[in-house]
Amino acid sequence: MTRMFKDVGQDIDDGKGMTYQKLDKGRSDSKRNSAADPMGPNSEIGRKLRQYYDELISEEVPDRFSQLLNQLQQQEQQGSTAKED
């Protein structure tokens, strides 16, 4: 569990979106013949699902989110200096 969690966390740091593909690859390698993967590596539904999600992930991210995070960080920094005064 911990190992998996770490792997996924690192995927996020890779940046651009495509995290699930890497994970999927690992999964289909290890479970190719197993019925455990409900989508199945070659399933039509699975393929469309990833295509659908892939398209969403590759959309351009509006600036508002990085602006928001900058704001939150600034507020926090101001908050901590205010406390020290």
Q: Which of 29, 33, 42, 51 binds other proteins (CB under 8 A)?
A: 51
Q: Does 63 bind other proteins (CB under 8 A)?
A: no
Q: Give me the least distance between CB of 42 and other proteins, in Å please.
A: 13
Residues 79, 1: Cα–Cα separation, whole Å:
37
Q: State both tokens at 6.
A: 């770490």
Among 33, 42, 59, 84, binds other proteins (CB under 8 A): 59
CA distance linking residue 16 with residue 81, whole number of Å: 34
What is the rounded distance in angstroms from the CA atom of residue 25 to the CA atom of residue 40?
12
Site residues for other proteins, 9-48, by CB under 8 A, read 9, 11-17, 19-24, 27, 38-39, 45-46, 48
In the complex, least distance from residue 45 CB atom to other proteins, rounded to whole angstroms: 5
- The answer to whether the beta carbons of residues 28 and 38 sit under 8 Å apart is no
